[in-house]
Amino acid sequence: MDRVFYTTLAQKSLEGQELDNAACGRILSDSSLEILPLLDAAYQVRKTYFGQEVRVHILNNAQNGHCPEDCHYCAQAKSSKADIEEYGIKTDDEMLKEARTAYSKGASCYCMVFAGRQASQARIDRLKRVLAQIKSEFPDKEICVSTGFVTNEGAVELKQAGLDRLNHNLNTSEAHYPQICTTHTFADRLNTLLAAKSAGLKVCSGMIVGMGEEHADIIDVARRLRSLKAESIPVNLLVPIEGNVLTTQESKLTPDFILRVLCLFRFLNPTAEIRIAAGRELHLRSMEVMALYPANSLFLQGYLNAKGATNARTLQMIKDAGFTIKSEFDINELLKDQILQSDAVSDGSKALLKSLKELRPAIN
């Protein structure tokens, strides 16, 4: 195919122009578009704003289970029968210790995730105390919190306490949202992001691909996040956790399609941190490293409940591809400290879940 289309995609993105629906649709569905020149076009945009740098995030599942919502993709939802290790909110000391560990392993952002519908005032007060403790030790490091719906007032309090980013994923389009959750609406999620923006917080919000959505839904989410000027966009891939309402039986994800989705998000959100998030190891398989050409961020140490690749494997993949990490630690030094462990993330039919030791390393 004529290379003009690929170069035009990169040029328009770099000039701040928003691609039309025809171009977006072609990226996702036109089999005549070759994946390597498409990735290269997205990489030209990624390289302009982020160079060869990969930003590493580490999640702290600060509370597991006990959630009243019925999000069909989530192992912590009331509708899920997944065999997870449930526990209440971790102690302040536990969260602080995990922050220290995350930053020592090269993370540029420490992410605390709390189950539940919304952040009560009691939780806001608790978070303010923890944020102050972490920031007193690591004033230059980023902290991201995911704690359900947040009011305008709550967002302001968290910002004043030192929070850098608020995570609240849109997950899918407004049209498709009733198919994945019935206990809250797309508007509820959007309002939390607007509260965060109003308070001056950076916004971390993305989607889960593979939940039965149409291409138009993916395009809609990418456009919505562009309009919100989301600074951080995690692109998750539906993880097949046994017991969840949604599994990959509903998903027809292929490495080629996932890479196309990442390119689309990069073209529509050129200056955003695009993160290849949950499910990357499982669904991209041997093509995993190619995700780093449109995306410039990933997670270490797995996800909320599902296992991920070992730190050693992920860091080695970054190094082998010629990328660096955003950290004061050299990637070679970090690799020296890694212990060889099992790298299995699935038994072939379902995702492997984290053990309590993996979920709560600070008390083991």
Active site residues: 67, 71, 74, 111, 144, 204, 275
Q: How far is the C-alpha of 146 from the C-alpha of 204, rounded, in Å?
A: 9
Q: Which of 43, 45, 5, 37 is nearest to 24 (CA)?
A: 5
Q: Is 276 helix (H, G, I), strand (E, B) or coil?
A: strand
CA of 48: how far to CAs of 14, 109, 143, in Å? 8, 22, 25
Say which amino acid occupies 95: M
Q: How far is the C-alpha of 266 from the C-alpha of 236, rounded, in Å?
A: 15
**Torsion 147-303-140-135 (CA) sign:** positive
Q: Per-residue b/e over 77-111, b at no fewer than 16 CB within 10 Å? A: bebbebebbebebbeeebbbbbbebbbebbbbbbb
Most distant CA atoms of the chain, gap in Å? 59
